Amino acid sequence: MSHGKIREDKTCLNCGHQVEERFCPHCGQENIERRQPFYFLFTHFIEDFTHYDGQFWGTVKNLLFRPGKLTNTYLQGKRQIFVPPVKLYIFVSFITFLYLPSFLW
């Protein structure tokens, strides 16, 4: 779930229905402010990495020791227990390029 600020306007931007809660009951789109200040994006980015809980370590453990089982389980649709692959790739790239210069000097 996103941590974005809920819009004052209760009309769904996607379908135009009235939205009383965080999500539109008609189309499911989240009714949050689309334009966020940079500090919000940065803190959300950091929160994403620090709130992986067991998902991150479970995914990494399976990726290193049982990659076939991880792939099969993911393709069967049991995805909630794993970090999404693109998110994991971006995280690993971020960490790699953050620490790579310290190994080169």
With beta carbons less than 8 A apart as the criterion, state whether 36 and 42 touch.
no
User: Which residue type, as a one-letter code, is found at position 65?
Assistant: F
| SS3 at position 49 | helix
Q: Is 27 in the site for Zn ion (CB under 5 A)?
A: yes
| End-to-end CA gap in the chain | 40
| Length of the chain counted residue by residue | 105
Half-sphere exposure of 32 (CA within 13 A, CB side): 13
Binding mask 29-58 for Zn ion (x = CB under 5 A): x-----------------------------
What is the smallest separation between the CB atom of 2 and Zn ion, expressed in angstroms?
Answer: 15
What is the smallest separation between the CB atom of 31 and Zn ion, expressed in angstroms?
Answer: 8
Of 15, 41, 92, 95, the one binding Zn ion by CB under 5 A: 15
Binders of Zn ion: how many residues, by CB under 5 A? 8
Select from 5-13, 55-63, 71-79, 89-97 the region that touches Zn ion (CB under 5 A).
5-13
With beta carbons less than 8 A apart as the criterion, state whether 26 and 17 touch.
yes
Residues that bind Zn ion (CB under 5 A): 12, 14-15, 17, 24, 26-27, 29
